[in-house]
Structure 1
């Protein structure tokens, strides 16, 4: 999971039931983490992405906020900033330790049809997700930003995966809410080939499956590594992860998706040259694709939006 990258912590907060089906996921990053971003969907909802451009001033990021609620859900990042600011974590702007501005890039997905209008994440969701963050196993499925997610004809959710690349670790987390399908509906098989036994074999098309029109969408996530990368290299890492999304979801990066991936490099291990860099980029694509598939595999049914596990029992 993404928490296999040392120093990375993940927390969720969500509300499900009583007219609610949405939430927020926060990735807390160790001091000195360098960030990057790549957005390829036609309808992104984001915050602080321009700051991550290689030519701009700030290279360090303190956390990434992933949230439901469409553009309204960007308010969750305010709670993440408050939590970090209370602890003196952020970009120094004054003589005292508390004079900081936390750097919290954020992206949102469209899950408004899952709940009643007006029920969407706010700053309290972001703060609570920070309070819940740990470096242990990441809870996956219909939690956090994946609470109200949908992927094609199925319930979407939060997925995570990781891999070792020599001495490096690459991990990813994805909130899977795509217009496209994550499985071949004629067979029930995932488009992604994971580790042996990681994903179930194609069980065949169930009689009760009927594809329905998709809503507005967006898959968002983070790919992280313990390698020492600069901002331009982080952007390339995020670009590679987007290729993984294209492997896992068909179609991806549509006009109605706001597909956005953030990259985070903690800098714990130096990179010797382009061969190691290329291996990290290759792994980023593979790991993000697996994370996307796990988001659908672990999701649970909410209302009439059925999960993979309930359809292919």
Structure 2
């Protein structure tokens, strides 16, 4: 199911950013999503939830040595899902992608840099069903194949997959299914895009008006929404990636991740609860030379808008299943 309310400028999502590829492994009630940047991407993270499940986030601090990452893992399975990152690393190493330990152009081991975050989806479907290293490897192969089909400096020609896929398979959003959503836009010569797994403790629907917080033009029947059983536990999480080809520094990428949470808070209420693990990564495939304050402000505003739009896209695109209603079941607008 695709999101008919979204225009074509949102259809590519993260793949609208040159040098970025996306792959998914979907396993019914859970899965993982891998965002690859084989040539490296300047990266940062901002964690706002009180109960995050993450890996390799400390190295993204601006004062730490490694400036670029090669992939980001988004996964279901709670903390168990972090095991999928082992498969991401193995597949990248096999492809010759990673940090050269002894220096560029010197023989020796390479270490792919793969931060990641997970959602809690263990109460949807089988709690023993979790993404593994094999799932991470498969999603990475798909992401690399996505990039191989085009010149690394151009965008994907194909609409992005979205909805009940990858890490969004077992996602819930309040009383309805969540999912994986995307959005992208342009700021001058640069692309800003987001891919988000919407799995919040909070609601995406205003229970009083039936309007989506992130897009009030989309409404559901408030009575029908009230009749649905609450699905979210106090252990849910929304995670995602913001990407751009603007040449932001590592520190400026942190500002993109930070302001991206404004979009999360606009689309989900309440957000950033003590047991949410809300986490947003920011990636730049630019040269890291930095942008001026005016452009950075525009990029940050776009990051928030794209995160908000990606969350709306996730719930619009979600399919019914797992004994859970989706937004399309109770939507009152076309």
Q: Normalized against structure 1, the TM-score is what?
A: 0.92
- Correspondence list, 1:257-296, <5 A: 257-267=276-286, 272-296=291-315
Is the CA contact (8 Å cut-off) linking 1:39 and 1:258 kept in structure 2?
yes
CA contact (8 A) 1:23 1:144 kept: yes
Distance 1:241 1:283 in 2: 8
* Counterpart-to-counterpart distance in 2, 1:269 and 1:3: 20
Runs of 4+ in 1 over 4 A off after TM superposition: 95-98, 268-272
Secondary structure of the corresponding residue to residue 224 of structure 1: strand
Pairing 1:87-106 to 2, within 5 Å after superposition? 87-94=95-102, 97=107, 99-106=109-116
Contact 1:34 1:264 (C-alpha < 8 Å) held by counterparts: yes
Write the distance in 2 (CA, Å) between the matches of 1:213 and 1:108.
Answer: 18
Structure 1 98/175 Cα, relative in aligned 2: closer, same or farther at 3 Å? farther
Deviations 1:5-50 (A, max 9, x none): 111111000111xxxx000000011413100000000000000000
Change (3 A) 1:271 1:52: closer
Q: Which moved more, 1:26-35 or 1:49-58?
A: 26-35
1:225 aligns with 2:250: no
Q: CA deviation at 1:166?
A: 1.3
Distance 2:231 2:172 in 1: 11
Tell me, yes or no, if the aligned pair for 1:65 and 1:105 is still in contact at 8 Å. yes
Aligned with 2:277: secondary structure? Answer: coil
Matched, 1:186 2:205: no
Structure 2: state its 5+ residue gaps. 1-12, 147-155
Separation in structure 2 between the aligned mates of residue 121 and residue 203 of structure 1, nearest angstrom? 33
Structure 1 unmatched runs, 5+: 194-198
**Equivalent of 1:156 in 146, 166, 178:** 178
Aligned to 1:88, the other structure's residue is in SS state coil
Matched, 1:5 2:17: yes
Partner of 1:207: 224
Alignment of 1:115-130 (within 5 A): 115-130=125-140
Report the TM-score when normalising by structure 2: 0.87
Aligned residue for 1:207, secondary structure, equals helix
Aligned residues: 304
